[in-house]
Amino acid sequence: MPYFEYKESQLFYEVKGNNDGDEVIAFFNGVMASTNSWINQYPIFEKLGYKVLLHDFKGQLKSDKPIGPYTFKDHAKEAKALMDHLKIKKVHIIGTSYGGEVAMRFAIEYPEVTKSISIIDSVSELDSVLEYFVSGWKTLAMERDVEKFYWGMLPTIYDSSFIENNIEILKERVEKLKRVPGEYFVGQGYLYDTFINDVYMTDELSKIKCPALVVCGENDILKPVKFSKIIADNISDSEYVIIPGCGHVTIFEKPDVLNSMLIGFILKNSNSTAL
């Protein structure tokens, strides 16, 4: 498995698609996720001729978990270093939840590299309800009881209809989670602290000048629509979409609808001759 070392931390990454292509899409994970969480998205961009970069942030499943908390600037700097290592000069970023927050920070810090950002179910600030949700996740994670952790956080991230219609799939996922090493939960704790301590960036969003697609599930109770509207209102070149009947995990709950939006947005902002 490929790893990139940055400041004594090993970051897991994967490169897929057109390795010689100039048009590159980087997928930035949600907090509990890993590179394989994008299985409903990246293959279609491979077919369209894009080079695809996926990686786990430090603290996530396949990357190192140095003592945290971290900062979103840390994550952005590490992603930029990985791109430099792979000789990627320009990138479209698609980020969900925590990954969308890293995407915004990346676009703020590295505007010369960022061609577009697609921000899915993310925030640029928090309120007390969101802070309580994430603090509750940390309490569950530190107990390292997989069943308690998984079923405890589940109602906050999926729409109720998705849970009812996909209960067997969700049960399979909890069985897979039981096989991850215990250090996964240590990393989760660091990432939750990072989010609570460092997510506020609303007053810097005006620095983002690249095209931005802002997407939110209509029934997202974790990071409600109001947060996506704040993001869209503060990025000058933004498009704002609400997906009906969808909770927080749009990449799983409504992948076809989301993919149609992502494809159109990124194609529009790509150099067609490079594909």
Q: Give residue 274's pLDDT.
A: 45
Which CATH number belongs to the domain containing residue 256 in this structure? 3.40.50.1820
On whether the CB atoms of residues 52 and 46 are closer than 8 A, the answer is: yes
Q: Domains in the chain: how many in total?
A: 1
- Map residue 270 onto helix, strand or coil: coil
Residue by residue, DSSP assigns 56-115 as: PPTTSTTS---SS---HHHHHHHHHHHHHHTT---EEEEEETHHHHHHHHHHHH-TTTEE
Q: In which residue are the tokens 């997928």 written?
A: 27
Give the tokens for residue 237. 């070149």
pLDDT of the chain, 275 residues: tens digit per residue: 799 999 889 999 999 998 887 899 999 999 999 999 999 999 999 999 999 999 999 999 999 999 999 999 999 999 999 999 999 999 999 999 999 999 999 999 999 999 999 999 999 999 999 999 999 999 999 999 999 999 999 999 999 999 999 999 999 999 999 999 999 999 999 999 999 999 999 999 999 999 999 999 999 999 999 999 999 999 999 999 999 999 999 999 999 999 999 999 999 999 854 44
Q: Give residue 22's pLDDT.
A: 85
Residue by residue, DSSP assigns 140-205 as: HHHHT-HHHHHHHHHHHHS-HHHHHHTHHHHHHHHHHHTTS-THHHHHHHHHHHHHHHH---GGGG
- What DSSP character marks residue 14? E
Task: Kindly give, in sequence order, each residue whose CB lies less than 8 Å from that of residue 185, ignoring residues fewer than 6 positions away.
Answer: 141, 142, 144, 149
Can you give the pTM of this predicted structure?
0.96
Give the tokens for residue 167. 């209960």
Q: Which domain holds residue 236?
A: 3-274
- Residue 239, amino acid: E
Single out the residue of 7, 212, 209 nearest to residue 122, CA to CA: 212
